[in-house]
Structure formats: C-alpha cells, structure tokens
Chains A and B, each alone.
Chain A
C-alpha cells in the first residue's frame, strides 16, 4: 500500500504549487483568495490520503474536519479584510496596495 502513497502526495504537492503560484502572480485580491482555497484543498487531500494509506481513516478524518473548520474562519477573516480594502480603494487590484514597502 505504501507504493500508492507517493502518488497522492504528488498530487497534493501539485495543488500546493498551483496555489502558491496563484498567490505569487495574481493581481486580483479575490483571485488571491482562490489561491488560499486551492492550497487548503491540497492539504486536505494530503492529510486524508496519508490516513487512507495507513488504514487510519478515522484519525485522518477528524484532522481534516478540524482543518476545514480552521479554514472557514480564515476565509471569513480574509473576506472581511477584502471587503474593507474594497471600501477604501474602490478596486480589487493588489497593485493599489503597494503603499508600504516591506
């Protein structure tokens, strides 16, 4: 069963890469939020697939459920920030958010 583990992890890592790519290159703040979502899918997939391969699905399920709950709270906070940003700059362009230099 171990031989299948790397397939699932490869797909999960692929999703993570797609999500990080989105965070690094997209300019619409809502697209950035989609990037966060794709990253979360990658992580949920990774967690559950690992549990599946180890025949430990019950533990993996509780981890995934907890992670999804954390996810929802993060999304709610991020969307609240996005709506506030929109109220200030009247646009969704992240290039408008470059006042600070980092």
Chain B
C-alpha cells in the first residue's frame, strides 16, 4: 500500500507521453493531478492508521514471494509524505493554466511526477545508498524542469545548479563509502549498530562534515547557497514553488536530519554546528533579500533564510525545538509555495518580475493580492498565522536551551523578514495603479483555485495549530527524539 507512493507516480509518468499523444487537451493534467490527490488522501487516512502503533517496516510481496523491497514508515516520513503530496497537488492544479504557453505539458507532468517519486522514495528508504539514489532521481528531474523554458537565463541557472549538485553528490557518496568501509553495511539499523560498537569519533566527524557539505548544498544553507538565487527565479513559477517548498527541504533538511538523528545520533558538537549554520543562513539571506528588485529573487533569498530557521530549530535537539523546526518546515512549504505561485500569476499578467515596475495590482487582481498577503504574513511570523507559532516554538526552545543570543537573532531577523515582505506587498499590489496595468485581469481559474486553497490551508494551520501539532508534528518529533534507539529498536532487522 505504501509502495504506491513510489510506484504510482512512476507508472503514470511512464504512461503519460503515450497518453499525451491520444489527448493533448486534458488527459495529462487530469491523470497527474489525480495521482497527487490520491497520494494525499492516502497519506492522511491509511498512513496515519498504519503508524498509530509506532514505526512500521513494510515488505513488498510479489506473487507470494517476498521481494527485498523494504520501506520504513514512521511519524517523520509520513509527515513529509503528506507535505509533499499537498504542495505537489496545489502546484499541479496551478500548472493546468500556467504551463499552457510552455508547451509539451505531458512531458512536464511526467517530470513533475518523477520528481515526486524521487522525493517520496527518499523519504521511505531504509539504507544510505537508497537516499542518494532517489535524491538523484529528483535532482535530474529538477534540472530539466528549471531549464524548461529553454531561455538563456534558465539554461544558465540550471547548468550552474547541476555543477554544484554534482559536488554535493560526490561529498555524500564519499561519506557513504567511508561508512560502508567502517561498518560493512548500508542499512540505517546496521550502520547505527556498527557505529555504536566502533567508537570511531574522528571518522564519524569526518563523515558528518561531508554530509553537512553535501546536504547543506542541497538545502542551500549559507555558504553553500550560491545556486539558489539563480535557479529558483529562472524556473517556471510552479517549479520554483516546488523547489523552494519541497526539494530543498526533502533532499537537504530531511536527509540530513534522518541521518544525523537516527543513524549517527545527535552529539552536542553537531547540535552547535547545525544551530550556527542555521543562524548564519537566517541573517545573511535576510540581508541579501533586502536589496532585490526582482520579486522571485527576493522570495528565493527568503527561502534560504527560512530554511535556516528550520535547521536552527532542529539543531537545538530538544523536543520543543524539533517540533518548532518541523512545523516551520510545513508552514514555509505551503506559504512559500503560495507566494511563488502568485509571482507566477503576476508575471503572466504583467510580463515582468521587477517590483519597481509594478504597482497597485490589488485593484485588478484582488484574489492574488489577498492570498499573497496571507502567505507573506505567515512567513514573517504574524499571529494568528502558522509562521508565528512555529517561530515562537523555535524561540522558546532557544531560550530554554540557554541560547539567548541566538533567540535575539531569530527575533530580529523575523522583524527584517516582515519588513521586506511588506515591501513586496506594497510595491506590487498596493499603491497607485500604474497606467500600463489598467488592462490586466485576475489569474485564470485553476491558478486562482490553487492559490486560494493554499491560502486557506495557511490560515488553517495558524488557527488550528495545536491540533496540527498534536496529530502531525508530535509523532514526527517523537521519532527524532528517540534518536538511534529508533533505528536499533523497531527497525532492527
């Protein structure tokens, strides 16, 4: 049942080009969005039931014979699966209208499905090499999607992204090789067991450094962030939403967290390094976001900053901090996805991304302006929206852990974030309506539907935050809290 998360996107993607030839009109859109919807419902209903007793290890059977395909599902994986399915559904709906003028929609949806299959696979595997493999699947799909428009900017951004990604993969594989040499195996449980028996601090430190470099590049943490401000603005808007909202978190933050918490075990040194990396990302990216004229570039720098918050929260290591970090991951995924989708609506209506050229669009595009305000306020941390609660949790956890300085930094950066988001809002939407935009219309149906859906969810996450934390965040946080005992205990096979 859980294998559908990887198998369904794969099969539908393989069939899409053929089916696309049959009916170019709506079949690809329908199929792809149906897959996203099905997986979301699956994650919410039967997924939660599956893990109610604790983490679960599932084996695939084929005609009675047990294939050696094992996946592990626990609170953390299910949380990611739910987030992935949700945002991909919104992006899929948005793409129905937006990707019209890019052409070859069947191919686009096939790539989107492959990226989702890669991300789902990454979340579900139980050995280190599988993490690398599915990371590459999602990455290759993303290179093509970033360059989808085939213009100069997009090709340049995609190529630079590819080069830096290769370095990231090399670092990750080198670390995996050394671990393989030390423990002789690759599964999470076996490696955790082996490392515990070995007591080889220096080598584990070396591997941790390599993992931080590799996954930090994928998550665009400062100083590994150079590719993101080019790649995310150049990509088509729905792809920017998925990259910022999901890919950097799944292939960067999730992979790093899973390995550091459940396989290596979080040491105080590692915790400090993660916290400082997060804090540096928050500050540097927020400052860099201030000077931007391009709307999507500002959003891209903001992504780097907010991922810093997530890493900071998770790095604290206490249950409160982890919960804050994970809740912020979800908030940011939905809100940043919303903001990027809106930037796509604006770009399609006005033909520009330059904030100085826009003005007063709220009068002609009220839905876009309204949803944009919701998303911006959530990320900036304004109550009662979700971002406020997640940032509050992180700051409380910092204070509890006696990291007063970092807490002050987090609060100040939050004020900065609010400032530049209000700047976007004012420059693009409020203010006087510029002459040339008198004729723009509101975004087409599916695009508006997708953004309204996300806006409602963002508001919902804020209003019902305690319910959300109890049902989704708490199980995930518990899993990470158990540390290597999870790998040794319930996953041991």
Contact = CB atoms under 8 A, between A and B. Distances in A.
Same complex for A and B? Answer yes
B115 to A, nearest CB: 13
B406 interface: no
Interface of A: 5, 9, 12-13, 16, 19-20, 23, 29, 32, 36, 39, 42-43, 46-47, 50-51, 53-54, 56, 60, 63, 66-67, 70, 73-74, 77-78, 80-82, 84-85, 88-89, 97, 99-102
B184 A56 contact: yes
B180 A102 contact: no
B234 A84 contact: no
Contacts of B129: 63, 66
A5 B166 CA distance: 25
A74 B140 CA distance: 7
Contact of A73 (B140, B158, B227): B140
Contacts of A63: 129
B136 A70 contact: yes
B166 A81 contact: no
B180 A43 contact: no
B177 interface: yes
Contact of A100 (B157, B177, B180): B157
Contact of A23 (B140, B163, B181): B163
A81 B159 contact: yes
A5 B177 CA distance: 11
19 contacts: A13-B174, A29-B159, A42-B170, A47-B177, A47-B180, A50-B181, A63-B129, A66-B129, A66-B133, A70-B133, A74-B166, A80-B144, A81-B155, A84-B147, A85-B156, A97-B160, A101-B230, A102-B227, A102-B230
B408 to A, nearest CB: 30
A46 B177 CA distance: 7
B234 A54 contact: no
A3 to B, nearest CB: 13
B145 to A, nearest CB: 11
B468 interface: no
Interface string B147-172: 10011110111111011001100100
Report, nearest first, the 6 A-B pairs whose CB atoms are least far apart: A100-B230, A50-B181, A97-B156, A46-B177, A102-B226, A43-B173
> How big is chain B's contact interface, by range?
20 to 34
Contacts, number: 101
B174 A46 contact: yes
A97 B226 CA distance: 15
B227 to A, nearest CB: 7
A70 B143 CA distance: 14
B252 interface: no
Given A74-B166, A77-B143, A84 B181 contact: no
A81 B170 contact: no
Given A70-B136, A74-B140, A81-B147, 18 more contacts: A12-B174, A12-B177, A13-B174, A16-B174, A36-B163, A43-B177, A54-B184, A56-B184, A60-B180, A66-B129, A70-B133, A85-B159, A89-B152, A97-B160, A100-B156, A101-B229, A101-B230, A102-B227
Given A85-B156, A89-B152, A100-B234, A23 B177 contact: no
Interface SS of B by simple majority:
helix
Interface in B17-44: none
Contacts of B153: 99-100
Nearest to A89: B152
Contact of A50 (B133, B147, B180): B180
B229 A102 contact: yes
Contacts of B227: 102
Contact of A97 (B159, B178, B229): B159
Given A50-B181, A102-B227, A81 B157 contact: no
A29 to B, nearest CB: 7
B380 to A, nearest CB: 25
A77 B140 contact: yes
Nearest to B152: A88
Contacts of B147: 81, 84
A2 B167 CA distance: 28
B143 A81 contact: yes
A94 B217 CA distance: 21
A73 to B, nearest CB: 6
Contacts of A36: 163, 166
Nearest to A78: B162
B155 A88 contact: yes
Contacts of A100: 153, 156-157, 160, 229-230, 234
B181 A81 contact: no
B452 to A, nearest CB: 32
A66 B174 CA distance: 15
